[in-house]
C-alpha cells in the first residue's frame, strides 16, 4: 500500500514467454496493471527483445555471401570470380556485391595491397573505394535474394589517387547494431580473394587511330584532286 501524495520505488521482474527463439529477434510486450484504493486502474506498458542486438548478424553470409564479379558479366546474378582474376580496368572492372539482412550505420569498403599505407579503424589499408564509407544503409529485401548492394572499382581511391597495376583485395566491413564505429571488433568483415588489375596504354591506341585517320584523309584528298583534274581536262576540251 502506497499512501496518497507519496512516492515509492517498485522493482518488477519479467518472465519471458515460453518457446522464444533468440535468433529470430523476438519482440515481446505486455502491461503492468496498477489498482488504487479508489478503484482506479492504470496500465503501464512494456516492450522488450529477447536477444543481444549487438550480436545480431547484419550481413548476409548464408544465402548470398559477399563476392566479386566482372563488369563484363551483365547477367541478373553475375558469377563470382576466382582468385587471381585479372581485370584490365580500362575496359572491365571488378564489382563487389553484398547484402544486408539488418541495417548498418557504417559500411566500409577498403583496398588492401602493397604501397603507402594509411590506418583506418585499426587496419592498414591503401585507401577506400570512392564514395565509401557509406552511412545508415537499410537492409535489403529479404524476400528477394537477387537484390543487394554493389560497388564498381576502376583502380582509383577515394582520395583521387590511382593505384598502379598489381595485386589487390577488397576489405568489407559493416558496423554491428549499437557498435562503436572506431572499434574494428565491432564490425563484421570479409576479405576478398586476391585479384589483379592492369591498364591499357590508351596513347598507343589513340595514336593508331590518328594515323589511320590521317591516311584515310590523304587517300580522300588524292581522289578529290584526281576528280578535279579530270573535270578540268574535260572542260578545256
pLDDT per residue as tens digits for the range 71-91? 999 998 899 999 999 999 999
> What is the 8-class DSSP label of residue 70?
E
% of the chain surpassing 90 pLDDT:
57
Q: Evaluate whether 161 touches 91 at the Cβ level (below 8 Å).
A: no
* Closest to 129 (Cα-Cα) out of 149, 111, 104, 106: 111
pLDDT tens sequence across 161-189: 999 999 999 999 999 999 999 999 999 99
17 three-class SS: coil
pLDDT greater at residue 18 or residue 144:
144
Q: Evaluate whether 94 touches 72 at the Cβ level (below 8 Å).
A: no
Burial class (CB in 10 A: 0-12, 13-18, 19+), 132: buried
Rg (C-alpha) for the chain, rounded Å, is 32
Statement: residue 206 has pLDDT above 80:
no
pLDDT band at 201 (very low <50, low <70, confident <90, very high): low
> What is the 8-class DSSP label of residue 80?
P
Average pLDDT on 129-144 reads 95
d(Cα 104, Cα 81) in Å, to the nearest integer?
26
Q: What is the four-CA torsion angle of 125, 169, 115, 91, rounded to 10 degrees?
A: -120
pLDDT band at 215 (very low <50, low <70, confident <90, very high): very low
Domain ranges of the chain: 1-51, 67-198
d(Cα 223, Cα 215) in Å, to the nearest integer?
13
Statement: residue 2 has pLDDT above 90:
no
d(Cα 110, Cα 174) in Å, to the nearest integer?
12
Contacts of 232 (CB under 8 A, 6+ apart): none
pTM listed for this prediction: 0.75
Amino acid at each position: 500500500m502506497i499512501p496518497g501524495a507519496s512516492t515509492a520505488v517498485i522493482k518488477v521482474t519479467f518472465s519471458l514467454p515460453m518457446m522464444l527463439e533468440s535468433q529470430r529477434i523476438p519482440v515481446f510486450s505486455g502491461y503492468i496493471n496498477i489498482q488504487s484504493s479508489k478503484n482506479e486502474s492504470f496500465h503501464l506498458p512494456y516492450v522488450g527483445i529477447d536477444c543481444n542486438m549487438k550480436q545480431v548478424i547484419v550481413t548476409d553470409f548464408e544465402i548470398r555471401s559477399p563476392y566479386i564479379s566482372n563488369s563484363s558479366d551483365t547477367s541478373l546474378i553475375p558469377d563470382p570470380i576466382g582468385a587471381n582474376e585479372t581485370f584490365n580496368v580500362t575496359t572491365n572492372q571488378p564489382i563487389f556485391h553484398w547484402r544486408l539482412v539488418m541495417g548498418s550505420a557504417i559500411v566500409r569498403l577498403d583496398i588492401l595491397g602493397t604501397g603507402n599505407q594509411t590506418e583506418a579503424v585499426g587496419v592498414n589499408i591503401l585507401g577506400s573505394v570512392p564514395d565509401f564509407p557509406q552511412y545508415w544503409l537499410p537492409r535489403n529485401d529479404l524476400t528477394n535474394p537477387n537484390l543487394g548492394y554493389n560497388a564498381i572499382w576502376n583502380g582509383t581511391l577515394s582520395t583521387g589517387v590511382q593505384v598502379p597495376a598489381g595485386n589487390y583485395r577488397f576489405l568489407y566491413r559493416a558496423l554491428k547494431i549499437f557498435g562503436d564505429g572506431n572499434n574494428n571488433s565491432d564490425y563484421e568483415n570479409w576479405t576478398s580473394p586476391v585479384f589483379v588489375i592492369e591498364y591499357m596504354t590508351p596513347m598507343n591506341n589513340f595514336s593508331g587511330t590518328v594515323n589511320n585517320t590521317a591516311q584515310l584523309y590523304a587517300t580522300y584528298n588524292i581522289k578529290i584532286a584526281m576528280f578535279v583534274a579530270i573535270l578540268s581536262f574535260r572542260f578545256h576540251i
